[in-house]
Structure 1
């Protein structure tokens, strides 16, 4: 017995932020020194390394739970279910609701509770809670929902991934250019055939890797020392992900019972185009195979890195026929994988 996805939805914010947005930014290194390169060169290198040309920011009146609500409403509409039949609402995020122009995170009550309230669900036994698991949070929520369904304590679950990373970035840190806002959601229920989740895997590397992504002070020494922003050690993350994510993907694939030649798509967290490509190439090298063409859909060039929202949002786009060069048909086998703060890694193999 397993669970399957019966509906998906996403919300891509309306405000398009091109790399020109950062032209007047004063970028500083972690030592408090101004970067020597001109901003247009920094932006060009960003595109070469990450593939990002644009990203989306939420409107000033929106917070993370607002984005998650819209994605959830679309998933409910797509699945044609009565929201009163939901047993769990699991909301993956990392920074709560941060209102525009502020630096304070608001996570009480939980974002899942807020979405349940706005959906006007009366069923008190629809349990609403949040997951904080870095960028792999949505996949982890799916894995938890699958466990509830397999255990017989839930029949139907809504899993949301949403984030407004634009509210927690240090404007003096060039890494801030990769981050974006967005939301995606999916509804899972018990599968009556051989479709659905075939295998899954999760891991947390904390002994030496805990602080590869962290909250730290601004690189501008004149800024408030008590204000913290999202920070990362990009080189260490790249080296960590290249080896450990590919290995985890192989373990998950092998546990699914499907062979590598039966894999139709890989939907990987949209973190960095070059990094993702290197991970997938290494994954296929573990099978002594070259990376197939068109195996890995990418939208990071236009949408940036919206953390937990990247995978469910991309899945929705594919299923809705919004990516002309990619499609998922009935019977297709898809490997989902993510890596992020923790450092956490997870994956699942799914048959549509």
Structure 2
């Protein structure tokens, strides 16, 4: 009889950059709209309105001597430091999700060669040539897509241990003249998945279901790289830009249904969901997604604390938001949020592509 495996979380780690940037740092910025017109409102008013819309009050930036692969390595190191019996040499795969490679403070060009995964494996000193290291660019849902790939490896019996890291330095691709630049931040999170053999009478645990979608015909360029919004800007860099309203509408239409489809696939309902760990993209948008999700099940109100948030003090660090959130909860460092055996955790993310995905995970009892 063929063995059955489920993908179990065996360890977590994260790295939060030490540089804290509060909203007040942007009050004197010259912001321009999409037509290149200077915003004529006072800076303090622009910043306060931004905080009301996004819930973001501060964020973390990497220090000038750090790049994304450094943050990824530090997150992985934190994981292995907390799991001293886990040998990095026994990893079958090491996946790093990111979107911009390594970008230095002084030369803001993306560096992808060698891959960030290869750099992290090198920094960890892993000698095993069969620890396959590769990168995954998939927009903000990249880390969760890496988890989905890990699940395929582990369920097939091809792998026993897969490390999935999300790392980004969005501060290096921010247009200083775009108010949306206040959304972005830097960070890294790492999660180790292991294959657990289960018998025919065992309750399914670990990853129970997942789903992904890519909507490129109308939505491919809602997030894109472009020149500065300031027509007088003399640099030739490309910066991250987004069509905020259309992105909001896409997320609100797509993410709740993706979560419900994933719960349906697992044979579960909304009442079975203990926690929704959602990509920390925009506080108000995530709240709207939660409300729309519960609306798909009738008039059921969302329980208090079901969707823990970090965006108010960590901002949007793209692929790092989910693994960082998970690590903070796992380590008891997020007030009011805990994960206990038997809990059903739903992960969900949306971002450039446009891509959207979700994963349903049941916490093992041991």
1:189 to 194, 201, 213: 194
2:226 to 206, 211, 216: 216
Give 5+ residue unaligned stretches, structure 2. Answer: 199-203
**In 1, Cα distance between the equivalents of 2:251 and 2:207?**
23
1:88 to 83, 87, 93: 93
Q: How many residues align?
A: 352
Deviations 1:8-32 (A, max 9, x none): 0000000100001112211111222
Deviations 1:255-293 (A, max 9, x none): 112222111000000000110010011111101122221
1:14 to 12, 18, 22: 18
Assess if the C-alpha contact under 8 Å between 1:145 and 1:157 holds in 2: yes
Corresponding residue for residue 51 of structure 2: 47
Deviations 1:58-80 (A, max 9, x none): 01100000000010111223333
Give the TM-score normalised by structure 1: 0.98
Corresponding residue for residue 67 of structure 2: 63
Deviations 1:293-312 (A, max 9, x none): 11100010000000000000
- In the alignment, structure 1 residue 5 sits paired with structure 2 residue 16: no
Give 5+ residue unaligned stretches, structure 1. Answer: none
Corresponding residue for residue 201 of structure 2: none
1:154 to 150, 159, 163: 159
**In 1, Cα distance between the equivalents of 2:183 and 2:272?**
33
- In the alignment, structure 1 residue 321 sits paired with structure 2 residue 328: no
Give the TM-score normalised by structure 2: 0.95
**In 2, Cα distance between the equivalents of 1:279 and 1:121?**
41
**In 2, Cα distance between the equivalents of 1:195 and 1:324?**
26
- In the alignment, structure 1 residue 347 sits paired with structure 2 residue 358: yes
Deviations 1:127-167 (A, max 9, x none): 00000000000000010011011111111011000000000
**In 2, Cα distance between the equivalents of 1:46 and 1:208?**
27
**In 2, Cα distance between the equivalents of 1:174 and 1:294?**
30
**In 2, Cα distance between the equivalents of 1:181 and 1:58?**
6
Assess if the C-alpha contact under 8 Å between 1:76 and 1:187 holds in 2: no
Corresponding residue for residue 261 of structure 1: 271
